Structure 1
């Protein structure tokens, strides 16, 4: 359907999709948000969780994603107010899909004992599952997410803890121009199931997006300024929407939003669960330098502080989790994989992105809290959004008949 829709009347279709995005911002308050960061632990020389929490608190970083349910980490975050996303590893997903009791047991043992003192606000189920080779895992992902959500509801935690999954940008068959974003034929059936679940539970779609990879693969054709999100350059203009992009990352996010809209889920917000730039790499890893890493992360920080949204949704500040807090010396792969951190394991800075200066900014501008009241307000607007979406679907139907 998506490919037919594009081929028959792309401009009318883009107009209909833009209606969804334009009106989806009406009446929806801008949520307080700020910098999030990924706290990986694949290293043998990392500081203790209490020391990590001290560092994060001093920097006013209030959103953190971890890749397990490490009891020491969960305990260390108790009472801090820092929002925490925890992770279900891939190998547990099929069992949770097959058994609601396994999902309940995992939440009861791994999350419930620390909640609400530790402010767990999200559960990431697997990581980049839909671009892997395990077909059973792909088929199990959304059923496992549904069982986890049911477990949270049974424990009275579903109002506070959202269930999602981080996706690779490779779920897109087309990402440029952003308005032509569409999921791959292999991923589309799974994406429809996932997006339906996310819409039903008012949960964002998470994407791991790395402009660095695009630059590394073709540094002679990809603009470094564009990949680094440098604000003062021409960038790229989408020929269908005429929106101007100075950030490849923001263009990638809008491409995902358009792809979701083509499946009927244009109102599902897209958040960046991982993005970063390595400060060191092998000889064949173009652009992996300290200066580029500093510039990339600082540019994203400045966009966060200014409350900037993507060109498609300028009024909604894009939520971004930087990768990563520390360089991790035990990660496999090329040199770059071990050099994404803002900090060395001894907690000295790899480079200064301005976090020290930002830490003096008012708590309001960097507040990560999303109160239950805010969530309720968003839900009140859902009916209006559904009406607008229905009108846009009528426009798309007309495009199909042309």
Structure 2
């Protein structure tokens, strides 16, 4: 989501992120204002191509033009490392759009090849965890059979270009939908009995790791052991409607804080213990105009004024705002508010 009218400018946000030592940022678009604001920084960017652009990206000329407009002018000073082509398309109802995903990914990658950028930038797409037909136990994870026709060639392409497989995973939804069966502590990385996979004997003390390993198992069922799974979105809302059980600042702080501690330890999942998890946390700011239930407007780590929504050790600094009399700013100047943070390498200040 990118809907709000009270957010700081990209330049001020760049200062905030660098003050809390964020190493990676994921955008839902390729906003030039944002990419310019981070020029010369060490922050790595995953930029996004919206679902509405997929058909155009199957045309080599249009794919090349997009890269020339949205990547090539900035990559010299801003670290763009990945392009996500579409978001959660395979769990939607648009069959035509599903058929465009892989050709669009291939079109974007071919354009990067032509322009000599594949050493810096890779191509992928993001999936909902809903692409899994079975997720329990993790060793029996499998994709929905009806998605095999899309996923098999897509996985072959991932393997060919060595691109990560991205999953959006929110244990919050599992708890909210079934609080009597899903232990809250299991979703929040708090001490709990956990579960043991009867096939492997591996013990899981949290749901997110089980979901990651379920995806690895599903990929293995389709013949691949050479594709990395990354979490492109996860998070926990600090507020929700009365029926959104579990949405609270205490639970949000527990989820993101405990996840951050594990990432700092370079922890892997039980199934991939030597491969540190790669996670992007949604989102930087609360989004006051986002439609839907209250939780959708309350995933942010910060209020728009730079104050933390809850304390997980991110003591950042949002520079004071100065507006020149001749400066025009629209309400949506910083319109990539669905900005995700990765604590994968550089966040080392948790106390």
TM-score (norm 2): 0.89
Verify the 8 A CA contact 2:39 2:78 in the aligned structure 1: yes
Verify the 8 A CA contact 1:294 1:352 in the aligned structure 2: yes
Match for 1:259 among 208, 213, 218? 218
Q: 1:179 aligns to what? A: 139
For residues 94-243 of structure 1, what are the structure 2 equivalents within 5 Å? Answer: 94-97=55-58, 99-230=59-190, 232-243=191-202
Verify the 8 A CA contact 1:60 1:366 in the aligned structure 2: no
Q: 2:231 aligns to what? A: 272
User: Is 1:80 aligned to residue 41 of structure 2?
Assistant: yes
For residues 190 and 356 of structure 1, the distance between their equivalents in structure 2, rounded to whole angstroms, comes to 43
Verify the 8 A CA contact 2:308 2:314 in the aligned structure 1: no
Deviation for aligned residue 1:41: 3.3
For residues 3-402 of structure 1, what are the structure 2 equivalents within 5 Å? Answer: 41-97=2-58, 99-230=59-190, 232-356=191-315, 366-367=345-346
Q: Deviations over 1:332-367 (max 9, x none)?
A: 11000000000011111000112239xxxxxxx944
Gaps of 5+ in 2: 317-343
Corresponding residue SS for 1:93 = helix
Gaps of 5+ in 1: 1-39, 358-364, 369-402
Corresponding residue SS for 1:356 = coil
Deviation for aligned residue 1:228: 0.8
Verify the 8 A CA contact 2:133 2:143 in the aligned structure 1: yes
Verify the 8 A CA contact 2:253 2:312 in the aligned structure 1: yes
For residues 315 and 196 of structure 2, the distance between their equivalents in structure 1, rounded to whole angstroms, comes to 35
Q: Deviations over 1:173-203 (max 9, x none)?
A: 0111101100001212211121111110111
Quick check: which one's helix share is greater? 1
Verify the 8 A CA contact 1:94 1:136 in the aligned structure 2: no
Deviation for aligned residue 1:44: 0.9
Q: Deviations over 1:297-352 (max 9, x none)?
A: 00110000011000000111000000111101121110000000000111110001
Q: Deviations over 1:258-292 (max 9, x none)?
A: 00000001221100000000000001000000000
TM-score (norm 1): 0.78
Q: 1:385 aligns to what? A: none
Deviation for aligned residue 1:116: 2.3
For residues 71 and 210 of structure 2, the distance between their equivalents in structure 1, rounded to whole angstroms, comes to 35
- Aligned pair count reads 320
For residues 125 and 284 of structure 1, the distance between their equivalents in structure 2, rounded to whole angstroms, comes to 34
For residues 44 and 96 of structure 1, the distance between their equivalents in structure 2, rounded to whole angstroms, comes to 31
Verify the 8 A CA contact 1:169 1:207 in the aligned structure 2: yes
Verify the 8 A CA contact 1:42 1:329 in the aligned structure 2: yes
For residues 193 and 333 of structure 1, the distance between their equivalents in structure 2, rounded to whole angstroms, comes to 35
Q: Deviations over 1:110-144 (max 9, x none)?
A: 11101120100010111001001111111011111
After superposing on structure 2, the runs of 4+ consecutive aligned residues of structure 1 that deviate more than 6 Å are none
- Root-mean-square deviation (CA, aligned residues, Å) is 1.3
Verify the 8 A CA contact 2:283 2:299 in the aligned structure 1: yes
